[in-house]
Structure 1
Amino acid sequence: MNKEEMDCQVQSGSTFTKGLVIGALLGAAAALLYAPKPGRELRSDLSEKLSAATDKSKEVAAVVGEKATDLAKNVTEKTTDLAKTVSESAGTIFNSAKEASADVAEDVKRASDDVMNEAKQS
């Protein structure tokens, strides 16, 4: 790769899509403005197109809002489940470590008692 190829970032699909939509809107606006219609008809057409675009964007915003809410609920549920699992695992590990340390302490005490008994006997 040469320097120019490395410096130019590859555009993502969303960037391309945004450019395509903006270009289409600009092309539609230019077509309406240069169409041979009287001013009243042109204003009426522009108003209708703007109304349709507004309605469509409200629909898209509602769908996006619903999906975002669903995603937030899923993330919250999974996070809660994960926290519960981690908490339970930590409790189990703590109890196991506590029991193991108690067993080791008991073994050390027995060993030290045995050593003291042997020392007294000798």
Structure 2
Amino acid sequence: MSTPLYQLKAEFFKTLGHPARIRVLELLSEREHAVAEMLPEVGIEPAHLSQQLAVLRRANLVRTRKEGSAVHYSLTSPQVAELLLVARTILSGVLAGQAELLADLRAAQGEGKPPS
């Protein structure tokens, strides 16, 4: 019996569930990067970055290209960048809604009303 699609989606999102992996994918959404270029941008130890890149490779989200001793990474699909952009749009909407709620609560406190 094959794995249900919802389970595969859950595994996919678990792969995205680490801040370092998200940051790597954001960088690669801009252009191909060598590992050495990513290190200061991601802000983790080289061994840890290597582990996170291995996770993304196993998930087939990134591919490698070797040039001399340097290893360059790129996205396997531009749709990964689109997914990150959609996530940013969703989060912007959520945060905007929270900011409005906070403003309403502060306004109510200023008027002496109990928060609802």
Would you tell me which structure has more strand in proportion to its own residues? 2
Higher-RCO chain (CA-CA 8 Å, sequence separation at least 6)? 2
Give yes or no for TM over 0.5. Answer: no
TM-score by length of 2: 0.39
Would you tell me which structure has more helix in proportion to its own residues? 1
TM-score by length of 1: 0.37
